[in-house]
Structure 1
Amino acid sequence: MVPPIDRFSGHAGLYAQFRIDYPKELYDFILQKVPDRTVAWDCATGNGQVAGALADWFEQVDATDISETQLLLAVKKPNINYQLSPAEQTPFANHTFDLITVAQALHWFDVNAFHQEVRRVAKPNAVIAEWGYGLAQISDDIDSILIDFYRNRVGPYWDPQRKHIDAAYATLPFPFANVEQPTFDVRRMWTLDRFLNYLRTWSAVRQYIHENEEDPVGALGEELIKSWGDGEREIAFPVFTRIGIVC
């Protein structure tokens, strides 16, 4: 099994504060597929935002991550049980979960081993939902600058797994039944400062800073300021999803 990769413990505070959350429409779509809402597993929960949403619908939510720092900062609710665990080998009993979710993290896994674990811990006909989101879209002039930053300035610092996000997970197996692949948008009104702090959560930016002892986001902000202006801009994050039945 491929050793788990932790790219987020070192900036867990930034991650918890500045990462996006997910739209109600996505949760509504998933939940309509899950008639029995007893126990859910949110894998690679990070700051616990998905676990926190599921906790409003399920009697119990088990949420796992390989980052102890992330778990310490995660959303707290009485029916969420956080545990330190890799995706591919968990402490859960066979046939435990009605729903299994993983958001913006599947590309870090040994995917075949994870799906084998899903089959072990899922109840018959449980639902699995995997999703992620691509590069932000703002306006033509800003988007061209952002794409250059993404591909060229910090492009060499992305892990190879990033290609799976760019491909909307089409490059990763999904061996489940009744597969559906809806898309959604996350739309937020952000200031430039808020957007730049989001960019600082990118693993490629953190690696760039680590290797060069310089924050590339500062120079990007100076380049964007004229196009952005003083106020908030609407930012759209395209969300790709795949949902199936474990049987």
Structure 2
Amino acid sequence: MAQSTNWFDRGGDNYARYRPEYPPALVDYLASVAPDRQRALDVGCGTGQLTRLLADTFDKVVGIDPSESQIANVAPHPKIRYHSAPAEKLPDNLTNFSLITVAQAAHWFKLDPFYQQVRRVATPGAIIALISYGIMELDETLNDRFRQFYDGEIGPYWPPERRLVDDGYRTLEFPFDELSPPPLDILVEWDFAAFVGYISTWSAVRKATEAGEQARVERFFSEFATLWGDTAQARTITWPIAMRVGRV
């Protein structure tokens, strides 16, 4: 692939388009340990990626996010209500949830006040789940170069909270009766353009380009395209799902 190929411009600026989807097995597990399947609350829901999946199993679902722009871009669903509110001050009328989920957002929360809210809105025996997915894993012909880029070349541009995600939230305070969830993965089949679209949504990549490092990102895309081979070829990419699951 020629160095002049501008893969960066082909990256998706649509955040939701390039987010990997959680597998239905995730909700199946959470529903199996929840006391019932009546009401689920998804906090830090963004544009409703996990929220919609919860609605396939739970009778009523509420999605909460502090960003009004995120809520404004959710897809309507007959079983879901969305609200804009911070995790630390949920709307007063929210009560009696059997499941409270936080997907890829807990590292931004002030946990003590959030956990107070969890105890207030939870039904007896409810489940709380802090969910994250870690660093993507590619086949061995690609993975070393990818990790060099992730850890070294744009590593300084990740916010400190990113380390909590990479650690699977293991170091977060979690004052609940903890369960042991099964191992689960997110799996996709992406061509090179989709891979670039996903990488281009990263906050670290945006910060690097704002800091004048777009050439560094372009160089990685060009070198990675060569390693990829046929850029129309779909490759398997996985993310290990990490969960802290507890009973309230």
TM-score normalised by the chain length of structure 2: 0.88
Q: CA deviation at 1:233?
A: 0.6
1:77-226 equivalence runs, <5 A? 77-93=77-93, 95-212=95-212, 214=214, 216-226=216-226
RMSD of equivalent CA atoms: 1.8
Q: Does 1:15 align with 2:19?
A: no
Instruction: Kindly provide the CA deviation profile for residues 100-157 of structure 1, in whole angstroms up to 9, marking residues without a partner as x.
Output: 0011111111122211211111111111111111111112231111111111221111
Amino acid at match of 1:155: G
**In the TM superposition, what whole-angstrom CA distance separates every residue of 1:27-79 from its partner, at most 9, and x where no partner exists?**
11111112422221100111201111111222221101122222222232022
Deviation at residue 13 of structure 1 after TM alignment: 5.7
Tell me, what secondary structure is at the counterpart of 1:62?
strand
Partners of 1:113 and 1:155 lie apart in 2 by: 30
Paired position in structure 1 for 2:246:
244
TM-score by length of 1: 0.89
Could you give the per-residue CA deviations for residues 154-199 of structure 1, whole angstroms, max 9, x where no partner exists?
A: 1111111111112111110111114224321111110011011101
Measure, in 2, the Cα distance between the counterparts of 1:178 and 1:14: 36
- Structure 2 equivalent of residue 5 of structure 1: none
CA separation of 1:154 and 1:206: change in aligned 2, threshold 3 A: same
Query: Of residues 225, 232, 235 in structure 2, which corresponds to 1:233?
Result: 235
Letter in 2 for 1:242: R
* Letter aligned with residue 87 of structure 1: A
8 Å contact 1:94–1:122 — kept in the other structure?
Answer: no
Contact 1:187 1:234 in 2 (8 A): yes
- Secondary structure (helix, strand or coil) at the match of 1:14 reads coil
Instruction: Name the SS of the counterpart of 2:90 in structure 1.
Output: coil
Q: State the alpha-carbon separation in 2 of the partners of residues 215 and 91 from structure 1.
A: 45
Task: Report what 2:63 is aligned to.
Answer: 63
TM-aligned CA distance change 1:101 to 1:64, over 3 Å: same
Question: How many matched pairs?
Answer: 235
- CA positional deviation for 1:240: 0.9
Describe the SS at the equivalent of 2:14.
helix
| Higher radius of gyration, 1 or 2 | 2
- Cα deviation for residue 94 of structure 1 reads 6.4
Q: Distance in 1 between matches of 2:149 and 2:162?
A: 15
The answer to whether the 8 Å contact 2:13/2:197 transfers is no
User: Which structure has more RCO (C-alpha within 8 Å, separation ≥ 6)?
Assistant: 2
**Deviant stretches of 4+, over 6 Å:** none
CA distance in 1, matches of 2:115, 2:215: 37
Alpha-carbon distance in 1 for matches of 2:31, 2:61: 14
Q: Which moved more, 1:167-176 or 1:57-66?
A: 57-66
Q: Distance in 2 between matches of 1:68 and 1:144?
A: 39
Instruction: State the SS of the aligned residue for 2:201.
Output: coil
Query: What's the secondary structure of 1:32's corresponding residue?
Result: helix
Alpha-carbon distance in 2 for matches of 1:122, 1:210: 42
